[in-house]
Amino acid sequence: MNRKRWYPLISLAVVMAFVITGISIQIARKSEKEKTLIYQLQELRQVVRIYVQVHHQIPPSLPVALDAQYSFGHPFQWKFARDALGMPLDPFGNSFQYDTSTGWARSKTLGYEEW
């Protein structure tokens, strides 16, 4: 085979390698965000439970629960990215939904609303 026939094949192989690498990176990032979302939901729900135990009522909002000061031997600090209103953001950049009647927090991100 001459050079003119090899160049398209090599170019195609390089492009395919980049595409496969890009897809793999996106899948890995989504997986990490999903793991982080699970952890953050557990933390938010724990924050609400602690607030209820200390204050004997469901917090009126997530920012109120997150900003409450507790001292059980060492201070609690909840680190969440927040929007301009102080609402915590999930790893996908959407704020969490909070049901004030039940104290249940969940994600607004499509596909994860039922977690």
Q: What is the pTM of this model?
A: 0.75
Average pLDDT over residues 16-32: 88
45-86 residue pLDDT tens: 999 999 999 999 999 999 999 888 877 776 677 788 898 888
Average pLDDT over residues 82-109: 91
Q: CB-based contacts of 42: which residues, under 8 Å, 6+ apart?
A: none
Q: Which residue has the higher pLDDT, 73 or 19?
A: 19
CA–CA separation, 76 vs 53, rounded Å? 15
**Distance (Å, whole) CA 46 – CA 59:** 12
Using alpha carbons, select from 105, 98, 103, 106 the residue that is nearest to residue 56: 103
